[in-house]
Amino acid sequence: MTSPDYPTKVDALVGALRDVLLELGTAPPVPPVPPGPIPPGSPFFFEPADLPVLCELRNGLLVPNWYEEYNAAGNARVVNGVVEFYWPKGKKGGEGVGMFWHPLPAVRKVYVGARVCLADDWQNHEAGMSKLFYVRTNGAGDIPFVLKGGPSGPYSVYCYPQFHAPNSSGPWLGEDNGIVIAGLPFVLEVWLDMADRRVQWAVDGGGVYTVPVKFPPDAMAEFQLNPVWGGANDTKDQEDLMTFSALVVSGQ
């Protein structure tokens, strides 16, 4: 007789084997999950209709009950229905200009959809990167999604797992495709699936990029809309702006 928890045990064994192969650098490619139907009226290409919405930018407001931190200067703000992050001239790299964050109810599968735009004359950091947002676990690290590129672009999407050992901590995951252009809005969609040990993303409804990630046992507990310019060092030589005109975070 087959044990009723047999599928769960098999999943755990398969996941453990993939973790070992990840550590050895011999893990097989993770196949992408085909996107399913999207909710009616969604501003995104692949938003999953079967995942409950946890927080979003809706009707020009961040709902429900977002928290705000590190924003005494008011440089993170919602203006005319758009979330703006403003860098004054002279702002140093390696820190945000303000943060909006929302707790997640201990979920193990997360989707993030965001429509983002950099100022058309965006000054990139000398380290060649700008972080967009983070998905955090309950005390075991996080995973930021980042734009990387040259001094004036174009830019590519990467992620950098920052989980506590023995789970994934680096390296940079992504590909240098240069599909993000300063001054042009783009849609970034991200999927994180802790059970399947995969992270996926797509830009403007294009091909889905998939990477294996060794997640910690802790569930994902927080979403941070916290753009960071850089890298340490360097200084903004000009005023700069990053905007989010659509945003949804769903999960279960």
Residue with tokens 């999943």: 11
The answer as to whether 3 is a domain residue is no
The mean of the pLDDT values for the chain is 88
The answer as to whether 100 is a domain residue is yes
The answer as to whether 20 is a domain residue is no
Work out how many domains the chain is built from and give that number: 1
pLDDT at 220 over 60: yes
DSSP character string of 52-102: PEEEEEETTEEETT-EEES-TT--EEEETTEEEEEEPTTPBSSSBS-EEEE
CATH code at position 124: 2.60.120.200
pLDDT at 2: 41
pLDDT at 1: 44
Average pLDDT over residues 206-231: 93
Containing domain of residue 38, as a range? 31-251
Tell me if 123 sits within 8 A of 129, measured CB to CB.
no
The answer as to whether 10 is a domain residue is no
The answer as to whether 152 is a domain residue is yes
